[in-house]
Amino acid sequence: MQRRPGVLYYAGVGGILVFFLFPFGIMVTNALKTEVQITAYPPVWIFAPTWKNFEAVLGTHAFGRYIVNSSVVGAG
C-alpha cells in the first residue's frame, strides 16, 4: 500500500513555489508600472496597468533583430 503525501508536504512544495516564482511576479508587475511607480517609496501595490513599456521596447527598438541575435548565439 502506498502512502499519500500529507498536508505538510504540500505546504512545503507551496512554499518552495512561492519562493521561486516571486521574482517572476515582481517582473510582471514592474513591466506594467510606470517608472515613477516602480521607484516609489513606499511601494505602489495598487496601480492602473500601462502597456507603455511594451510599446517602447517593441516599437522604438530593433527588438526583432535582438531576438534573432540571441537565438543564433543560444543555438550555437
Tell me: the pLDDT tens digits for 5-51? 788 999 999 999 999 999 999 999 999 999 899 999 998 889 999 99
Cβ-contact 33, 50 below 8 angstroms:
yes
Going 21 to 22 to 26 to 32, the CA torsion angle's sign is positive
Spatial distance between the Cα atoms of 11 and 28, rounded to a whole number of angstroms: 25
> Does 61 score more than 80 pLDDT?
no
Spatial distance between the Cα atoms of 47 and 50, rounded to a whole number of angstroms: 9
pTM (2 decimals)? 0.65
